């Protein structure tokens, strides 16, 4: 999208409607750019920026005396309701927004227009398979193979694969031909305490009777790679009925009678179409204006929590099997949706590394990006000139993050990151401002040269790590498999995500932010106390030296007696104390409360804190709250102060 393609870049006298009260609250102007939609109030007190990649559905309502209704439903669950003054203007705006939101060429996405090479080091090298498998402690029974070099046997798999050491090229090629999309069983995680392996693949092209000797041999070698337990468990994440239907299409599931030492386990995780409808019902239930009874009925009708429960139960089964020393091979239909969800959650349950900020990035790079989850299709990054593209959209990755959140609520001390981290990742999966989640597979991303032409999300998040820290984290307390209770009562709606922008008149303080803010405030006060103690010690030393000097000066000449008289000593001490008072005077002991501030305190900014995910940051100097853009660290990295205080202190 280029500027010249935007038929109506500015609209004045637009009214922003408060969805909670259904009343017009703000009048301003709407500005359309290739990368953002911007609403700016006439008095300058409110400004809303929305990435064009986040545009989901545009709805045009009927005209009334107040104007023509236009609703923008975003992929990160924000809903903007506007009243446009004239019917023709509303129609032009509707068509412009639809054109912006329906990108056909991936190169027209915002990520390709906002690259800043100076800030883009490291993010594109977050995952190196050899380093990651070395960290996991992969045994000599597994080896790297270049059989998929240049994506020769599977264009949706990584370039380099790890397979059993004794697996020959013929075995690997034969298994690949027997699996949907060529996605043969390969290693994704090695659980060193039991030497059990977690492998992933796609469904077999078995039909009702077909078999593959090479595939059966590869499965046998996967089992034999664990010297203590040769048994493997094949986990099919699909409902059994779905697997039967796929047999009619020449696909289906493995006949365990043809495989040695294999047990079969099926789980009822529904397909992408069911999940898409389920999320829409969930969002309808979470919309404002519903009674408690309607809300609860809507949540039950959506089935969303039931689906989360099924994913977590399957993941827990996989984790427990690996913990017992039983290797697992997991697949769904094509191995890039339900498979990615369950193997990733299982690794989070088993490996503390994946419960860290850096570790989650590595996990996403490995099991979602490298192994070919179709982010372009599932997130609707790029449309098509037919009706097929909307059928491919599904909240698969959103479900994964929701499952991580459900685990975090049961084990809050086991995670280095907080829920804000998950929500920010979710937003930028859809925003298309970064190249990290563009493309359907590793091959796509290389063809698009994303590492050279776009920014990495991980680089941006690296600069904000303090926003994502969990104050309850105990890094050495949870080294074993996480214990979960999967009863239905332990699953809840993630309101901070789905109702992120529904701020009440008196919003509650975020628990994590309140604690982190208190810890930060205490730290600032303690350092201040320490500085004052040092200053007091200096003054005491100065006072003692002045007394000694005054006593010895009685033997000197009269002019020295005058210079070092008690009154002179007092004036010097007073000047020193004035410096201390000045230092104290620049420090505000009491900080602003988080739930009392709705806008950045900088008069030049006044940015609105429009959701409970945007962190409110205190200036250590004046105690006021600012947005991240209006604060900075001091040169010695010891304090965070606002730009106004930094200017005054120069």
The catalytic residue positions are: 332
3-state secondary structure 87-115: HHHHHHHHHHHHHHHCCCCHHHCHHHCCC
CA-based nearest residue to 36, from 117, 118, 111: 111
> Given the structure tokens 């984290």, which residue do they identify?
473
Half-sphere exposure of 522 (CA within 13 A, CB side): 6
| Number of helices and strands in the chain (H, E) | 22, 18
Mention every residue, 6+ apart, whose C-beta is less than 8 A from residue 155. 182, 441, 443
Query: CB of 516 within 8 A of CB of 542?
Result: no
> Given the structure tokens 């030296």, which residue do they identify?
545
Query: CB of 203 within 8 A of CB of 252?
Result: yes
What's the full length of the chain, in residues?
650
Q: How far apart are CA 368 and CA 363, in angstroms?
A: 8
Q: How far apart are CA 439 and CA 590, in angstroms?
A: 49
Q: How far apart are CA 133 and CA 198, in angstroms?
A: 12
User: Could you tell me the CA-to-CA distances from 555 to 315, 549, 558, 564, 581 in Å, in that order?
Assistant: 88, 11, 9, 12, 35
Q: How far apart are CA 454 and CA 450, in angstroms?
A: 5
Token pair for 386:
């037919």
∠ CA 251-257-263, rounded to 5°:
90
Task: Quickly list H helices, 467-565.
Answer: 495-498, 511-552, 558-563
Count of Cβ atoms closer than 10 Å to residue 242 Cβ: 20
């Amino acid at each position: 999208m280029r500027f010249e393609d935007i038929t109506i870049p500015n609209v004045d006298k637009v009214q922003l409607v408060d969805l909670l009260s259904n009343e017009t609250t703000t009048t301003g102007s709407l500005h359309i750019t290739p990368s953002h939609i911007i609403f700016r109030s006439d008095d300058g007190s409110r400004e809303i920026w929305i990435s064009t990649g986040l545009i989901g559905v545009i709805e045009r309502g009927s005209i009334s005396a107040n104007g023509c209704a236009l609703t923008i439903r975003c992929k990160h669950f924000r809903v903007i309701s506007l009243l446009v003054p004239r019917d023709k203007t509303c129609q032009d705006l509707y068509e412009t927004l639809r054109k912006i939101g329906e990108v056909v060429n991936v190169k027209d996405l915002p990520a390709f227009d906002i690259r800043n090479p100076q800030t883009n080091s490291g993010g594109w090298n977050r995952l190196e398979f050899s380093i990651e498998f070395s960290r996991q402690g992969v045994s000599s029974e597994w080896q790297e193979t270049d059989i998929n070099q240049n994506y020769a046997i599977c264009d949706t798999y990584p370039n380099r694969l790890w397979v059993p050491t004794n697996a020959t090229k013929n075995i690997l090629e034969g298994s690949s031909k027997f699996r949907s999309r060529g996605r043969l069983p390969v290693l994704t995680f090695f659980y060193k305490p039991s030497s059990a392996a977690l492998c992933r693949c796609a469904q077999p092209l078995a039909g009702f009777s077909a078999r593959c000797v090479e595939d059966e041999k590869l499965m046998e070698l996967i089992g034999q790679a664990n010297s203590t337990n040769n048994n493997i468990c094949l986990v099919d994440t699909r409902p059994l009925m779905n697997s039967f239907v796929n047999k009619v299409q020449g696909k289906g599931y493995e006949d365990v009678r043809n495989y040695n030492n294999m047990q079969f386990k099926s789980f009822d995780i529904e397909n992408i179409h069911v999940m898409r409808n389920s999320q829409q019902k969930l969002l309808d239930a979470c919309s404002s204006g519903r009674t408690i009874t309607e809300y609860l009925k809507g949540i039950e009708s959506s089935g969303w929590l039931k689906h989360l429960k099924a994913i977590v139960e399957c993941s827990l089964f996989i984790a427990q099997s690996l913990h017992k020393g039983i290797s697992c091979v997991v697949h769904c239909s094509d191995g890039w949706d339900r498979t990615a969800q369950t193997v990733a959650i299982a690794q989070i349950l088993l490996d503390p590394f994946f419960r860290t900020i850096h570790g989650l990035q590595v996990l996403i790079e490995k099991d979602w990006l490298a192994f070919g989850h179709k982010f372009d299709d599932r997130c609707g990054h790029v449309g098509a000139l037919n009706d097929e593209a909307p059928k491919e959209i599904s909240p698969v990755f959103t479900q994964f993050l929701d499952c991580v959140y459900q685990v975090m609520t049961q084990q809050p001390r086991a995670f280095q990151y907080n829920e804000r981290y998950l929500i920010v990742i979710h937003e930028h999966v859809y925003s298309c401002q970064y190249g990290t989640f563009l493309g359907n597979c590793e091959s796509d991303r290389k063809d698009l040269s994303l590492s050279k032409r776009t920014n990495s999300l991980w680089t941006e998040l690296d600069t904000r790590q303090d926003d994502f820290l969990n104050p309850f984290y105990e890094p050495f307390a949870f080294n074993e498999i996480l214990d979960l209770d999967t009863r239905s009562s332990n699953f809840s709606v993630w309101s901070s995500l789905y109702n992120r922008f529904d701020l009440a008149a008196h919003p509650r303080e975020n628990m994590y932010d309140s604690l982190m803010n208190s810890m930060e405030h205490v730290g600032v006060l303690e350092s201040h106390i320490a500085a004052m103690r040092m200053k007091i010690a200096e003054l005491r030393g100065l006072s003692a030296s002045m007394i000694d000097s005054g006593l010895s000066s009685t033997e000197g000449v009269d002019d020295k007696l005058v210079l070092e008289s008690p009154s002179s000593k007092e004036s010097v001490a007073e000047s020193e104390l004035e410096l201390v008072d000045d230092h104290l005077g620049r420090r505000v002991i009491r900080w602003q409360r988080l739930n009392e501030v709705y806008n950045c305190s900088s008069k030049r900014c006044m940015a609105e804190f429009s959701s409970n995910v945007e962190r409110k940051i205190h200036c250590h100097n004046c105690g006021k709250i600012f947005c991240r853009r209006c604060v900075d660290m001091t040169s010695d990295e010891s304090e965070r102060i606002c730009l106004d205080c930094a200017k005054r202190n120069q």
